[in-house]
Amino acid sequence: MSTVLYEVKGNIAILTISREKALNALNSEVLNDLDAALDAVDVNAVRALIITGAGKKSFVAGADIGEMSTLTPEEGEAFGKKGNDVFRKIETFPIPVIAAVNGFALGGGNEICMSCDIRICSDNAIFGQPEAGLGITPGFGGTQRLARIIAPGLAKEIIYSTKNIDAAKAKEVGLVNEVYTQDELLPAAEKLANKIAKNAPIAVRACKKAINEGLDLPMDEAIVLEEKLFGSCFKTHDQIEGMDAFLTKRKEKNFIN
């Protein structure tokens, strides 16, 4: 049975990492299942994806420490690559991905949520990178993404000292956009996903590409990227439909992928 559950609700979908006895820790099986689940998402029908963890205690409590404990340097590098490949797939996924962080997001848990476009969390969420206390560095992108998302000095403090931060602090520093009660979290994630899904899929995908790829470019090249993506929207069904709806004062819009 897969350790990742997949549910489609209209034109949004939810991936739930489900290894609750180990607080949804990421072993090779979970990473393989996650990879396969992402491949199975029909991005022509689904317009926004939510990733969450099973239960109310933990989103993902990190990579599986038992599995990692006996790795050789070569195996460690290969395990890091396995996680990085899956997380990069999430980051570059054609449609927006929302992390609904329902508890511990430690190590690989914080790293997977940082690969998502948008992070929201429950009020019991705890974020951190405990790796230095285990004798390793973060290995699924933590040293790179945390210092890009929050202030580099704070990222360094969290990584070097292994101090965790709570939901309120995560919101204060911009690691998450909003904090909800545990019961409100998933409905809020679905509401946000549905709001995204109502907009033109072609435009939303182009916005994701423009923001993500543009962040890695000098501004002169980044705005050229935007010009190209902006231009590519014209004469699409969605552009014609969206502008016609405005000009004819029509509320309902029939966007397609």
33 is a contact residue toward ligand CO8 (CB under 6 A): no
Please report how close the Cβ of residue 56 comes to ligand CO8 at its closest, in angstroms. 12
Shortest approach of ligand CO8 to residue 114 CB, angstroms? 12
Give CA–CA dist 232/210, Å, rounded.
Answer: 12
Does the protein bind ligand CO8 through residue 159 (CB under 6 A)? no
Binding-site residue total for ligand CO8 (CB under 6 A)? 24
68 counts as binding ligand CO8 under rule CB under 6 A = yes
Compare residues 17 and 63 and give the one whose CB is closer to ligand CO8.
63
Min separation Cβ 110 and ligand CO8, Å = 8
Q: How far is the CB of 112 from ligand CO8 (least distance, A)?
A: 9
Report yes or no: 59 and 19 within 8 Å, Cβ to Cβ. no
Residue positions annotated with a catalytic role: 111, 131
Q: Does 139 bind ligand CO8 (CB under 6 A)?
A: yes
232: burial class by Cβ within 10 Å (0-12, 13-18, 19+)?
A: middle
Residue from 59, 79, 93, 180 touching ligand CO8 (CB under 6 A): that is 79
Report if residue 90 touches ligand CO8, rule: CB under 6 A. no
Q: Which of 30, 34, 112, 130 binds ligand CO8 (CB under 6 A)?
A: 130
Q: Does 3 bind ligand CO8 (CB under 6 A)?
A: no
Q: How far is CA 173 from CA 85, 151, 188, 221, 224, in A?
A: 27, 8, 21, 29, 31
φ, ψ for residue 192, nearest 5 deg: -65, -45
| DSSP character at residue 128 | E
Indicate which single residue of 13, 37, 48, 63 sits in contact with ligand CO8 (rule: CB under 6 A).
63
Strand partners, 178: 120
Residue count of the chain, please give it: 257
3-state DSSP assignment of residue 47: coil
Residue 127 binds to ligand CO8 (criterion: CB under 6 A)? no
3 state DSSP class of 126: strand
Q: Which residues of 147-180 are buried (b: 16+ CB within 10 A; e: fewer)?
A: beebeeebbeebbeebebbbbeebbebebbeebb
- Taking the C-alpha atoms of residue 227 and residue 212, their distance in angstroms, rounded to an integer, is 15
Stretch touching ligand CO8 by CB under 6 A, among 102-110, 143-151, 194-202, 223-231: 102-110
Decide if residue 140 touches ligand CO8 (CB under 6 A). Answer: yes
| CA–CA distances in Å: residue 174 to residues 13, 121, 154, 190, 209 | 25, 12, 11, 21, 21
Closest separation in Å from C-beta 192 to ligand CO8: 26
Among 15, 23, 155, 203, binds ligand CO8 (CB under 6 A): 23
Residues at the interface with ligand CO8 (CB under 6 A)? 22-23, 25, 61-66, 68, 76, 79-80, 83, 104, 106-108, 130-131, 134, 138-140
